[in-house]
Structure 1
Amino acid sequence: MAAIKAWDRQQLLLAFSLYVRLPFGRLHARNPDIIQYAEFMGRTPSSLAMKLTNIASLDPVITATGRVGLTGASHADRAMWLEMNTDWLAFSEQMNAAVSVLTGPLSAESVDVREQQPSNYQGMSKETITQVRLGQSYFRAAVLSAYNNRCCISGLALPKLLIASHIVPWSQDIHNRLNPSNGLALSALHDKAFDLGLLTIDEHYRVVVSSKINHSNDQFFDSSINSFHGKSIFLPDKFSPRAEFLAMHRETIFEKGL
């Protein structure tokens, strides 16, 4: 019997890059992305798909649902999961470097980041700015894939109109800027309302619209924002929003009523 080929670090980085970018329901051997990456890596699509489900077994959001059969994570998988969650910026740079070996280097100008860029790069070197922008691309991919590319409030499913919205703003938490558990998939409209504190998410994952807003005779506001008050958001398949981040948004950003 042929020996099982061990996964090296570059291959694991490629697998994690796919895990971050793909919705949970697409972690199967028929996925064209998995087929392409498996060919590059000299592995079978089934082998790569199994590795992705092994990585998924490390995500508490997935295991909390009771899904079974995801028990093959290795020591290296666990170490890399910890590494990823400890420093998303550095890890996203390493994932990009691994991918660039296959597809060519990704430039900061080509990064798919539709969110507003941080307004202040002061004190950052050009190299650091590039790393941050690449990291933002992974943040967007991770957040949108976790919510299956739909707004968690409205259900809008047009990626061009979706934002990977920070729960705790970029400027207020350096260590969690690129942590997808600090993100929500929101339509551009709901992202703006969330950013301004016009709405928030309570401890039971329900939408709360500020009572301080004067929206009398505004039918559009009533239908597009106020109608969601009290309704539960769509929860993600992975990278669930952390309770402490949502609590911070409620306490420091949300416009509380009198």
Structure 2
Amino acid sequence: MSFKSWLLEVGKSAGTADKYSTAVSGVISTWAIDAELCTERLDDVHTVLELTEIEEGLQNVDIYIERNTRGKNMYSCALKTFIEYRRQDSSEVLEQDVSNIIENNLISNTEKLTYISARVGQGRYRHNLIGYWERCSLTGFSDVRFLVASHIKPWHAADNMERLDTYNGLLLLPNIDKVFDLGFITFSDEGKIIVSDHLEETDILGIRRDMRLDLEDAHLGYMRYHREKMFERTIS
């Protein structure tokens, strides 16, 4: 899926999608190449690590700073969103997480299988979430074949107990899972949805501002982490 198509999928308007994709493949790439931060256009850079290093390097490039300030952070927002697209669009992070589990000599092979299954949203963890929620946690959609097992506090930030904790999970339709994972929505301690002003075309995504989750006390620490660390994290 192209960056522009992905932007449309996560709720950006056609105008914003065109502006961001053009900026990344155009002037931002040119500035990065001219500053010798890379040798190819950003469209051809696929690793999150390299893109992050380029992003950091651009903070010292005068023309980038000037144009980004004049453009009210449009260029930095476009680049951050592109990095998130690469993170979501590749298996790089997933493969690294699974590799870390396999190489961990402090846990048994049985535990490794459990953690790997939880990481990819299958196995016992998904089964436990289905048993707890029974349907989409937010919309009530009942056919679990279409639902995604989603961690509230993300895998990379959680410890082994948190990764398998049913209260650290939601069962969501794919479109809801995507915007939650990207930090465009989160929830209050009362379960009321909080929608970023940067999320456009919410009606098409099936998101309403009167939606709420039925949260228990055990969910609250995880959701607090999501509000503080994940909500609007791709937005400058």
TM-score when normalising by structure 1: 0.45
More helix by share: 2
TM-score when normalising by structure 2: 0.49
